[in-house]
Amino acid sequence: MFDVGFSEMLMVGLIALLVFGPERLPRVAKEAALWIRKLRSMATSVKQEIDRELQLQDLKESMDQRKREMEKILLTDNSSKMLNVEAKQKPEPKPTEEVHE
């Protein structure tokens, strides 16, 4: 993530030693490590939550698309059934009887 070389780490260590002193430096370093661990853990959990939400959104969109496809199929199928029913319900024309006189 950060491009920190040996010289930068050495500089931070020397400044920390001057600011906190040799007696408090180990305790401060331990606390800093705990905070860094907590921040990384929080960042990981946030990333996992975002990934989970994106997967749920993709799943919902996929389900909505499938639902629309199914409704389209059902509407098409019902339309063809309605046409068949209408065709069956139409009375067939009676043959005309010719009257012979």
Q: Decide if 49 is inside a domain.
A: yes
How far is it, in rounded angstroms, from Cα 52 to Cα 46? 10
Q: What is the 8-class DSSP label of residue 1? A: -
Could you tell me if residue 59 is inside a domain?
yes
Q: How many CA atoms lie within 13 A of 12 on its CB side?
A: 9
Q: What is the pLDDT of residue 3?
A: 78
- What is the number of residues in the chain? 101
The answer to the question of residue 91 being in a domain is no
CA distances (Å), origin 23, targets 9, 15, 18, 36:
20, 14, 11, 21
17 occurs within a structural domain? no
Residue 27 CB neighbours (<10 A): 10
- Flag whether 10 is in a domain: no
Q: Does residue 15 sit within a domain?
A: no
69 inside domain: yes
What's the structural domain count of the chain? 1
Contact 16, 28 (CB under 8 A): yes
Residue 16 domain flag: no
8 Å CB contact between 32 and 45:
no
Provide the domain limits for residue 39.
22-82
pLDDT of 85 reads 62
Q: What's the confidence (pLDDT) of residue 42?
A: 97
Q: Which two tokens stand for residue 2?
A: 């950060």
Residue 87: per-residue pLDDT: 60
In tens digits, the chain (101 residues) has pLDDT values of: 567 789 998 998 899 989 999 899 999 999 999 999 999 999 999 999 999 999 999 999 999 999 999 988 888 877 776 666 666 665 566 666 655 65
